[in-house]
């Protein structure tokens, strides 16, 4: 599934199709921010204290922080996939599914 399909799937499942385009984009940006924060926290929890200090020092330099954290995990893509799936599940669990008649 490409990024466009994923975004459309989230928009449709959350019932956001009728929102103006700008609001849908904002919503997706916020979801992306949540995923990035969750991945970062998950990585930080597994770092030794000295490396946490290094990561904290890089907090103002997102590109460098991502490079540093990426070097500490075997498969960053899999980690993102897990967190995306978890966020989607949590979001979808909070949305009532309409009855089909």
pLDDT 10s digits, 5-40: 555 667 776 677 788 889 888 888 888 888 888 988
Q: By the 8 A CB rule, do 38 and 87 touch?
A: yes
The structure's pTM equals: 0.71
Whole-number Å distance between alpha carbons of 59 and 27: 24
The pair of structure tokens assigned to 77 is 């893509």
Report pLDDT for 9.
Answer: 64
């Amino acid at each position: 599934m490409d990024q466009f399909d994923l975004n459309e799937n989230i928009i449709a499942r959350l019932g956001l199709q009728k929102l103006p385009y700008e609001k849908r984009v904002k919503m997706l940006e916020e979801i992306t921010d949540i995923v990035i924060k969750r991945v970062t926290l998950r990585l930080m929890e597994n770092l030794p204290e000295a490396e946490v200090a290094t990561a904290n020092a890089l907090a103002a330099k997102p590109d460098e922080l991502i490079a540093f954290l990426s070097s500490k995990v075997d498969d960053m893509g899999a980690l993102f996939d897990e967190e995306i799936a978890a966020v989607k599940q949590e979001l979808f669990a909070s949305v009532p599914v309409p009855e089909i008649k």
